[in-house]
Amino acid sequence: MASDQENSQDANAPDDTSEKEITRGITIMKSIIRDRDKAVTYNVNWNADNQLIGSNAAKLASYIGTLVRMHIPITATRWSNKELGSAKDKIWTEILRSFNIEDTTIRKKYILQLAGKRHRGWKTFLTNKYLKDKEIFFVEYDPEYPVKYAIFITEEEWVAFVAQRRDENFKKVSATNRERASNPTYAYKKGRLGYARLEEKILDETKSDATSLPPHVLWKEARVGKDGTVRDDVQHIYDECETLSQSISTAEDQENRSVLSRALNVPEYPGRVRGKGHGCTPTSLYKNPRRRNPSNQEVMETLQALQAQVLQLQKDNERYRCMEKCSSQLKETSEKASINCQNKFPEVFAQGSQQLSQKIGSRQKNKRDLPVTSLPKKGAFVPRYQISLETLVDSSDMATAGAIRLLDMEEDIFGYSCTETIGKEDH
């Protein structure tokens, strides 16, 4: 009996050879908090591309993750949400208390962007650990509340977070991203080191005087295995980058498409430089002036100005057409009238001139003495001609004032009626 009982106890006893799960506690960076209470601060360094480097860079990154877990709820879906403004300011203030960082806009922007990455990583960790199985599929049962992280997550936040992650739209996005990241063509092999600290390490080991390295050089070094081997496809991309760098001008390289992206032949995401890591942008790398998008008011003002210009051009065009049409009509009418009058008008005055020259020294009694041809009445187009009539008069016709006489201009002959004064000729 005793033997059976012992065998039963042995069967129920835990297997001493089985591996026990090794757990780690939560990261709250107690050493930084203790030093902060002693007014001890840490120095950090920045490279030429305004990226965090130095011996305390990893410590600052871990501390940022702790502050994010403490101040940002896991239910926050968008890091750019304005409701998180006060929490972000709190994170920035706490970092300034422990690290010697300039309180400038560019430094704050870098730190808060890094905090956003830590927040996404924190939510991804919770999802993979508690909401998915070993095959990385969502579990059907309700996951237990993670008591281990109770100082960061309330039970209400956990319930809301689980509901968000079980949404069908989120599952589709998660599956797409998982498929994309499951088998990268050129896998990154430097873990948490990052491009900025990898660059710092290479420059220190080579004792180079350079302040930075080209993106394609860092890209290749980040894909070198622990044994120092480089895959053939990685080496091929690097060689192509070296060839392109000799043929592409600086202006072409600054069009947000470096030699690395040209060699890889892949589209670039806005605001980043492939092979340089977090914090490096095309503006900071190539020192190009930032192109600001116009505001809505500026767009409307530009649109109104363009509309006014179009209307003015339409008016000018219409006026030009009217002037051209009128000019054409006047020219046509003038040509017709000139043709109709060429044979008649000169003949009239030729005959009249002959008759007047035969009556030298006397006054013409009436218009019937001259052959005339009727001209168009008023309202019709009458061409104007300048003529000269010469006549001699007797001295008896001269007036005492030196005037000779008045000469009537007949309407039937000249087209209009008037009286002209003939003066005495100077001697």
Mean pLDDT of the chain: 77
Q: What is the pTM of this model?
A: 0.60
Tally the C-alpha atoms within 13 A of residue 406's C-alpha that lie toward its C-beta.
4
pLDDT score of 313 more than 50: yes
* Interior angle at CA 173, CA 167 and CA 178, nearest 5: 120
What is the pLDDT, as a whole number, of residue 13? 39
Most confident option among 153-157, 264-268, 270-274, 385-389: 153-157
Residues 41-70: pLDDT tens digits? 999 999 888 899 988 999 999 999 999 999
Closest CA to 56 of 266, 197, 170, 219: 197
Structure tokens at 407: 């000469």
Could you tell me the pLDDT band of residue 133, with boundaries at 50, 70 and 90?
confident
Give the contacts of 66 (CB within 8 A, at least 6 positions apart): 27, 28, 29
Q: Which comes out higher in pLDDT, residue 30 or 397?
A: 30
Identify whether the C-beta of residue 86 lies closer than 8 Å to the C-beta of residue 94: no
pLDDT score of 11 more than 70: no
What is the pLDDT, as a whole number, of residue 112? 95
pLDDT score of 12 more than 50: no
pLDDT score of 115 more than 50: yes
* Tally of CB atoms within 10 A around 261: 18
Identify whether the C-beta of residue 132 lies closer than 8 Å to the C-beta of residue 139: yes
Region 213-231: mean pLDDT is 90
Judged by average pLDDT, the poorest of 5-14, 54-63, 289-298 is 5-14
Q: Which comes out higher in pLDDT, residue 405 or 45?
A: 45
pLDDT score of 312 more than 50: yes
Region 140-165: mean pLDDT is 93
What is the pLDDT, as a whole number, of residue 84? 94
Structure tokens at 116: 């956003």
Per-residue H/E/C for the chain: CHHHHHHHHHHHCCCCCCCCCCCCCCCCCHHHHHHHHCCCCEECEECCCCCEECCCHHHHHHHHHHHHHHHCCCCCCCCCCHHHHHHHHHHHHHHHHHEECCCCHHHHHHHHHHHHHHHHHHHHHHHHHHHECCCCCECCCCCCCCHHHCCCCCHHHHHHHHHHHCCHHHHHHHHHHHHHHHCCCCCCCCCCCHHHHHHHHHHHHHCCCCCCCCHHHHHHHCCCCCCCCCCHHHHHHHHHHHHHHHHCCHHHHCCCCCHHHHHHCCCCCCCCCCCCCCCCCHHHHHCCCCCCCCCHHHHHHHHHHHHHHHHHHHHHHHHHHHHHHHHHHHHHHHHHHHHHHCCCHHHHHHHHHHHHHHCCCCCCCCHHHCCCCCCCCCCCCCCCCCCCCCCCCCHHHCCCCCEEEEEEECHHHHCCCEEEEEECCCC
What Å distances lie between residue 213 and 203, 216, 334, CA to CA? Answer: 8, 8, 82
Give the contacts of 54 (CB within 8 A, at least 6 positions apart): 43, 44, 45, 200
Identify whether the C-beta of residue 307 lies closer than 8 Å to the C-beta of residue 225: no
pLDDT score of 381 more than 70: no
Crossing angle for the helix pair 30-37 and 85-98, to the nearest 10 degrees: 70
